[in-house]
Structure 1
Amino acid sequence: MGSDVGCQTAFAPAATCRLFLALLPPPALQEQVRALQQEFVVRFASRAALRSPPHITLVPPFEWPGSEWSALIGSLQIFAAGQDSIAIELSGFGAFAPRVIYIHVDPSEKLQQLQSGVQAHLLPLLNPKNPSTRPRPFVPHMTVAFRDLTPHQFRAAWPEFQSRQFQASFWAADLTLLQHDGRQWQVTEQFSLVSGSG
């Protein structure tokens, strides 16, 4: 997608973007995860996970000035050009009680290195604009229910999902930048992991 898009909301251009950086699975796997998210809508009245494509968050949501959009895009292009695509393994389910259930992502060394690398790359850009921005512990996961999953519904769902099987794998070949449009998260830019050195 073109890097001249800048900050947009569902209604008009925005002075500040709300963004996050993630790895997205391929479309067929996104559909499998969407089906699980829809199951939570129907059975447990939790729909918050539907507001973004299925993903693994690398850099959690942050604010960015629209006037400096091209600087962010250029910086991420430089970072991605020095990285290799990586294998991602999904296996079973995990939880952050009492509101989050997710598909477990294997915290491989390469995934950990990619996440810590992009966080370190962006930190000098983010800190002056976001004084509260600080690295968080990285627990790679793909959310299927959160936020509006009540503690009661969590207690109903978790015993089942704790022992439920789920296995999948994919090659992550792009970093994806997502932007909140005032209603939900949209893919706005993708950056190929192309170094070929690994």
Structure 2
Amino acid sequence: MAVLPPSTIQDEVTAFKQQALERFKTGHALTAPPHITLLPPFRSSRTDFSILREFAAEQSPIDIQLKDFDRFDQRVIFVDVVPNEPLTSLQKSLELYAHYHLGIEPEYRPFRPHMTVAFKDLKRPAFPEAWAYFAEQAYERSFTADTLYMLKHNGSTWEVLEQWALSNN
């Protein structure tokens, strides 16, 4: 479950992922559209997630600001999301709702919203150079998140399975 930025920002973040592939041989991030994860991947035998429409209808759109790049240790490089209480609140509410209504176990790691540029196949020896490259770049965009997306892995990439409007204006 995720928030996706508008297509113009998706194109820009995808270009960063492409630079990571060309310069540092890390392309795994290209298997998913640029997004902010609200619920990490989960397995489910359900085919009907329409109950999430009710959840989304009770949520208000959220202003999101992206600013520069950050990292998780020497494993992940990402476009950073400026701390945002409404986004954190949405994530916590969704996590509880999904646990109660869909049986999805909550994530116990702290929520740190971000848009991944390089991870998994970014080799440790290449990390310092990759981090130096992205840390020097300035990037700042904002958008209003007005839709909740469910992504599904099709065996090779992640694609949008369903989407619901955040419509409690």
TM-score, normalised with respect to structure 1: 0.82
1:184 to 154, 157, 161: 157
Q: Is the 8 A contact 2:57 2:167 kept in 1?
A: yes
Q: Residue by residue, what CA displacement relative to the aligned partner does 1:13-39 show, whole Å, maximum 9, x if unpaired?
A: xxxxxxxx0000011110000110000
Structure possessing the higher radius of gyration over alpha carbons: 1
Q: 1:62 matched to which residue of 2? A: 42
Q: Which runs of 4+ in 1 moved over 3 A?
A: none
Q: Offset of 1:103 from its aligned partner?
A: 0.4
2:144 to 147, 150, 171: 171
Is 1:28 aligned to 2:28, yes or no?
A: no
Q: Offset of 1:135 from its aligned partner?
A: 3.3
Q: What is the rounded CA distance, in whole Å, between the counterparts of 1:81 and 1:158 in structure 2? A: 39
Q: 1:120 matched to which residue of 2? A: 96
Count the aligned residue pairs: 169
Q: 1:40 matched to which residue of 2? A: 20
TM-score, normalised with respect to structure 2: 0.95
Question: How does 1:1-198 map onto structure 2 within 5 Å?
Answer: 21-65=1-45, 68-70=46-48, 73-127=49-103, 133-196=106-169
Q: What is the rounded CA distance, in whole Å, between the counterparts of 1:163 and 1:184 in structure 2? A: 29
Name stretches of at least 5 consecutive residues in structure 2 with no aligned partner: none
The verdict on how the C-alpha distance between 1:27 and 1:134 changes in structure 2, with shifts beyond 3 A counting, is closer
CA-atom RMSD in angstroms: 1.3
Name stretches of at least 5 consecutive residues in structure 1 with no aligned partner: 1-20
**Code of the aligned partner of 1:156:** E
Q: What is the rounded CA distance, in whole Å, between the counterparts of 1:134 and 1:32 in structure 2? A: 29
